[in-house]
Amino acid sequence: MKVSFAMEKLRLFGQLHFVSAAVALMALFPISESRAADPLPSWNEGPIKHRIVRFVTDVTTKGSEKFVPPEQRIATFDNDGCLWSEKPVYFQLLFAIDRIKQLAPQHPEWKTVQPFKAVLEDDQKAILASGERGLLQLIMASHAGMTTEDFETIVTKWIASARHPRFQRPYTDLVYQPMLELLAYLRASGFKTFIVSGGGIEFMRPWVHKIYGILPEQVVGSSIKTKFELRNGKPVLVRLPEIDFINDKGGKPVGIHKFIGRRPIAAFGNSDGDLPMLQWTAAGRGPRFTLLVHHTDAKRECAYDRKSHVGRLDKALDEARKKKWAVVDMQRDWKVVYPFQLDR
Amino acid sequence: MKVSFAMEKLRLFGQLHFVSAAVALMALFPISESRAADPLPSWNEGPIKHRIVRFVTDVTTKGSEKFVPPEQRIATFDNDGCLWSEKPVYFQLLFAIDRIKQLAPQHPEWKTVQPFKAVLEDDQKAILASGERGLLQLIMASHAGMTTEDFETIVTKWIASARHPRFQRPYTDLVYQPMLELLAYLRASGFKTFIVSGGGIEFMRPWVHKIYGILPEQVVGSSIKTKFELRNGKPVLVRLPEIDFINDKGGKPVGIHKFIGRRPIAAFGNSDGDLPMLQWTAAGRGPRFTLLVHHTDAKRECAYDRKSHVGRLDKALDEARKKKWAVVDMQRDWKVVYPFQLDR
């Protein structure tokens, strides 16, 4: 009622006044919003939450020495183990395994050839033992040979139907509630949020907008090559069984520079694969924020770090301690891990 | 006065009401804006201008069958010959030539070795005669071997100080006023505007925001490889003399898919190198807009098409006519070419 009364008043003015009023209201908006409620309700009060809020307040406060213009507020997030879980192994590998099984009838030779034999026999140890070369063979056999449109359909179907072996839920349920809040908080504070993941860029793009609110063009990841072709006059992009780019370790700053073209002011990771991204981010001029998620919560999720095959956190943990980067202790800092654990 | 009165009224309401009012006003904003003034004052009235305005009106009108949600409003622009001039040759080649001359004292061998000899002797015919391999050698010698930060500095200095041989003005003055207006019009209509150029991505990024209002992360271009290194503990990215990606011809849809991750609904080019980008854009579902700039204006700029070595427009012109894509006739459709020709 009150709003429509105000709108009536506003309708009296010309269009320029509408614009001025809208701009004035938009300027008030973030203040009202930030006073309204805790932007990080699933984070326990403590040093990490306080450091996040202080950093965001610093870079968004006009007149502050640490103010950063909105277009420079770039924040990059690893995906596996940082925004969603990565155990028992990277979910993308589970996708590749499901896809190999689906394609097996067309490939009778896979019954006797590794690493395909291991996949068909559900021998996870043998799959991992096939090493980088074996995993690459699985990725190529499952991710290449179709058009980009067909691959998008395949991923979209899998992500909607597959279930995590422990939680018996869609993989997209296994995202971290505190990180979802952090993404939303940063965006509400004028940040552009990017995923910078070792995972496949085309494996992530079909679902990240719905799950994380991150647009396809703000995803940086590993890729295979594609080729433009006219098929009966219809343009298609065909996915080739050839590595284009590995967006991991030193590849992460390379990928950031290639895709984003400037240095983030905040970076979030959880493993040694993220160390160069955090180093690159921290080395820029002006205020910087670098954070590692340390998986310390065997009960609600998993506990792993220095000895883990997937998501090893060893050198990066040492450097974080030395350089006083923020290190999330999941057990201590997070009220809940997954959205489905929230009291509703 | 009236606005501040309205603001007083609005201050009576709680923050939720502020938000609702702001959202309501923002919804009104584009309508008021488009009625305010001609968004394309440097375009002559005629079929091309009318097709542009009709397309933008269609995809932004809520309830229209052709409405496209803002996050899907992706528009891609070639750079050389589409947003700025490309004669006598691509400006980036002129940058490479200036840089080779600057580095020559450290390379006495260049005095006798082609294509460097041709550069040092200002023999443009011999430079072009050195072919793709020669040009690649010039690019590598001038674009690689430094850190990404150093390269950005080199480009920024050159673009500020170099002058176009005919117009004796900075190269960034030789941008097309009608295309600047088109970029601004699309952004005001909720589009994200991207450059998709055969030119070097790192050659464009330092200045495109200031000149075109396009952010570095919305530039897709050709690239050489970079490598992450710690130099005395300081992280750097070093530019390597090795091609990473050629964003031309069939590479343009590949680059679009790699960097943007979805199909544009509008694409703008001027040469056969843009044909696959336009084909890829036109082949998507829903409303599409594809446009070629035809250089027909020898007096104000240049006239060239089917036989030109730089910016050849031959097959794309045939296809545009067959498929009834918009073709700008510079002489007919543009009131002015460059911003400095505007009456002020």
Which tens digits make up the pLDDT trace of B295-330? 999 999 999 999 998 999 999 999 999 999 999 999
Residue B262 has pLDDT above 60, yes or no: yes
Report the share of chain A in percent with pLDDT over 70: 89
pLDDT at A36: 58
ipTM given for this complex: 0.88
- DSSP codes joined into one string, A148-210: HHHHHHHHHHHHHH---TTT-S-GGG-B-HHHHHHHHHHHHTTPEEEEEEEEEHHHHHHHHHH
For A34, nearest residue in chain B (alpha carbons) = B15
A33 contact residues in B (CB cutoff 8 A): 15, 19
A289-310 pLDDT per residue, tens: 999 999 999 999 999 999 998 9
Shortest distance between the Cα of A140 and any Cα of chain B, in A, equals 17
CB contact under 8 A, A228 and B251: yes
Kindly determine whether residue A262 and residue B234, on different chains, have CB atoms separated by under 8 Å: no
User: Which pLDDT does position A132 carry in this prediction?
Assistant: 86
CA distances from A335 to A47, A293, A297, A329 (A): 14, 14, 11, 11
pLDDT band at B36 (very low <50, low <70, confident <90, very high): low
The reply to whether residue A279 touches residue B29, judged by beta carbons under 8 angstroms, is no
Q: What is the pTM of this model?
A: 0.89
**Residue A311 CB partners (closer than 8 Å, separation 6+):** A80, A81, A86, A87, A270, A271, A295, A304
Which residue among A9, A19, A36 places its CB closest to the CB of B6? A9
Beta carbons of B71 and A215 less than 8 Å apart: yes
Say yes or no to pLDDT of A66 above 80: yes
pLDDT at B124: 87
Mean pLDDT of A319-337: 98
pLDDT the model gives residue A124: 87
Chain B residues with CB-CB distance to A26 below 8 A = 22, 26
Q: Which range, of A49-53, A160-164, B129-133, B160-164, averages the lowest pLDDT?
A: B129-133
Q: How big is the CA angle at A180 (ends A177 and A181), to the nearest 5 degrees?
A: 90
The minimum CA-CA distance between B206 and chain A, rounded to whole Å, is 9
List the single residue in A3, A28, A253 with the smallest CB-CB distance to B20. A3
Model confidence at A344, pLDDT cuts 50, 70, 90, reads low
CB pairs under 8 A between A and B: 168
Residue A25 above 90 pLDDT? no
Q: In this model, does residue A13 exceed pLDDT 50? A: no
The β-bridge partners of B74 are B192
B6 to A25: CB separation less than 8 angstroms, yes or no? no
| Mean of all residue pLDDT scores within chain A | 91
Cβ separation of A254 and B209 shorter than 8 Å? Answer: no
- Please give the average per-residue pLDDT across B157-163, as a whole number: 98
Query: Which of left, alpha, beta for B314 (phi over 0: left; psi -120 to 50: alpha)?
Result: alpha
For the segment A44-51, the average pLDDT, to the nearest whole number, is 98
Task: Tell me: pLDDT of A3 over 70.
Answer: no
Among A7, A26, A148, select the one facing B257 at the smallest CB separation.
A148
At residue B290 the predicted structure's pLDDT band, cuts being 50, 70 and 90, is very high
Contact B235 A29 (CB under 8 A): no
Nearest CA distance, B209 vs chain A (angstrom): 10
- Using a CB-CB distance cutoff of 8 angstroms, which residues of chain A are in contact with residue B261? 201-202, 205, 216-217, 219
Q: How far apart are CA A131 and CA A56, in angstroms?
A: 42
Q: What region does B338 belong to: left with phi over 0, alpha with psi -120 to 50, or beta?
A: beta
pLDDT mean across residues, chain B: 91
- Optimal mutation site among B152, B228, B238, interface A, most CBs of chain A within 10 A: B228
pLDDT reported for residue B24: 42
Is A90 a residue whose pLDDT tops 80? yes
Q: B231 exposed, middle or buried (CB, 10 Å; 0-12, 13-18, 19+)?
A: exposed
CA angle B204, B205, B209 (to 5 degrees): 105
Span B218-223, mean pLDDT?
98
**Candidate from A22, A218, A225 with C-beta closest to B29:** A22
Closest residue by Cα to residue A144 from A280, A1, A242, A247 = A242
**Beta-bridge mates of residue A7:** none
Angle, in degrees to the nearest 10, between helices B177-188 and B47-60: 20
Q: Which of A7, A9, A257 is nearest residue B237 as measured by Cβ atoms?
A: A257
Residue B17: what residue type?
Answer: H
pLDDT at A302: 97
The model's confidence at residue A21, banded by pLDDT at 50, 70 and 90, is very low
A6 and B22: CB-CB below 8 Å?
no
Residues of B in contact with A228 (CB under 8 A): 250-254, 276, 280
- pLDDT 10s digits, A94-123: 999 999 999 999 999 999 999 999 999 999
- Residues in chain B closer than 8 A to A76 (CB atoms): none
With contact defined as beta carbons under 8 Å apart, do B179 and B173 qualify? Answer: no
pLDDT above 70 for B126: yes
HSE-up (13 A, CA, CB side) for residue A131: 1
